[in-house]
Amino acid sequence: MVKDETIAQLLTVFRRYGYEGATLTRLSEATGLGKASLYHHFPRGKEEIAAAVLNYTNDWMTANIIAPLRDKERQPALRIREMTKQVNELYSCGQKPCILAVLVLGDKDIFHEQIQRALRLWIDTLAEVLRDAGLDEKTAQYRAKDAIIQIQGALILARGLNDTQPFKGVIERLPEVLLKL
Amino acid sequence: MVKDETIAQLLTVFRRYGYEGATLTRLSEATGLGKASLYHHFPRGKEEIAAAVLNYTNDWMTANIIAPLRDKERQPALRIREMTKQVNELYSCGQKPCILAVLVLGDKDIFHEQIQRALRLWIDTLAEVLRDAGLDEKTAQYRAKDAIIQIQGALILARGLNDTQPFKGVIERLPEVLLKL
DNA sequence: GTCTATACACCGATAGAC
DNA sequence: GTCTATCGGTGTATAGAC
């Protein structure tokens, strides 16, 4: 079995260099494993490594973002605050890019289905929280999508301007923007 | 001199495959020029090609987005509508990715300054229009940044969900969102 | 399960004919 | 200004020892 730590190290390479830029040499250096060892764990090579990295991210998001959003024992406002806190963690306050965005801008259509499922799950789960908060179905769906738009857009702008402020601002205002009547 | 059409063809490759994925073979095929011919026009190779592509994009945006925004003869609302119309054109209704976003997510720091200048120019120009519309300086700056965030975020989401609707919605609502009191 | 060594394709880039 | 041919380097992937 592959250690979680190894996958985490592989993830950093894909985040930083993109799919094409994540060479086996870089993946090897990041993990401390030789190329041949990587092929022992991922027989189908780089594509399987990227898929594992995506799965790892999916698991993290399910545990740290989706699950808290589903916790019906807590108030909607609290669940959304927990989401923004974890999103802030996931992207290191806007300093680290989103692996979903990085891979979706690539040309490897193989990952698009997996990315699409992850985005849909996030949006649908968030929309349900907003319905719990009293919003109608249509508004809830629209605002949930808007949340992802703002998070992803802020990550791009923060990187483009080399200034994390836009991201921090979005994260801070998001709960109130989502829940306003 | 290099034809504009050639640069446009080179641009499509970088948009689709990213910097690392835009190989000389693909650039050669897209333009119909041999690799050696590309080096005749761009002696410093791929890096110079990417820079030319960025310049081309910058020129297009200056002529079609920045200039209309600066046209003080027209009402702010009209200028912003013109911007959204051109943005819709630039990204083919949300079907084509933003070259700035694609390159900013890459690891080539060389382009970051050029990208940063393009984004700042867009934001500052838009903010001035919003001040013309009666908004205070701070709100204008904040909303101008928010416009870019929404456009970029919508492009990511549209691609991720394989559905241009989020982009179309953002473009449609943008003028009113920016100008509301 | 990890390594060294290596195969083979493709990368960016250049030489030189036309 | 375009081409063919080719270079050295690096990419992904594999063989086989330990």
Query: Strand D nucleotides below 7 A of a protein CB?
Result: 1-6, 10-16
The region of weakest confidence among A125-129, B8-12, B105-109, B167-171 is B105-109
Confidence of residue A107 (pLDDT cuts 50, 70, 90): confident
Over residues A141-152, mean pLDDT:
98
Q: Which of A100, A142, A161, A163 to mutate to test the interface with B (most CBs of B within 10 A)?
A: A161
Query: How many Å apart are CA B57 and CA B62, to the nearest integer?
Result: 9
Q: What is the pLDDT of residues A11-53, one digit of tens each?
A: 999 999 999 999 999 999 999 999 999 999 999 999 999 999 9
Q: What is the mean pLDDT of residues B32-52?
A: 98
DSSP letter assigned to residue A32: T
Q: A21-26 contacts: CB < 8 A, separation 24 or more? A: A21/B20, A21/B106, A21/B107, A22/A46, A22/A50
User: Could you give the percent of chain A with pLDDT greater than 70?
Assistant: 100
Instruction: Provide, as residue numbers in chain A, all residues whose Cβ is less than 8 Å from the Cβ of B58.
Output: none
**Which of B128, B123, B103, B125 lies closest to B113, judged by CA?**
B103
Q: CA-CA distance, B23 to B173, in Å (whole number)?
A: 38
pLDDT for A6? 98
| pLDDT attached to residue A1 | 81
**If you measure CA to CA, which chain A residue comes closest to B154?**
A149
Residue B1 above 90 pLDDT? Answer: no
* Predicted local confidence at residue B107, as pLDDT: 84
User: Model's pTM, two decimal places?
Assistant: 0.98
Q: How far is CA A2 from CA A13, A33, A39, A40, B108, in A?
A: 17, 12, 12, 10, 31
Q: Write out the H or E segment, with its range, that includes residue A80.
A: helix A76-90
Contacts of A108 in chain B (CB under 8 A): none
What residue is closest to D1 (Cα–C1')?
B37
What average pLDDT does the structure give for chain B? Answer: 97
Token pair of B24, please? 């000389």
Please give the helix or strand (H or E) that residue A17 lies within, else none.
helix A4-21
Determine which of B157, B163, B174, B180 to mutate to test the interface with A (most A C-beta atoms within 10 Å): B157
Confidence check: pLDDT of A109 > 90: no
> How do residues A63-87 score in pLDDT, each as one tens digit?
999 999 999 999 999 999 999 999 9
Check residue A71 and give left, alpha or beta (phi > 0: left; psi -120 to 50: alpha): beta
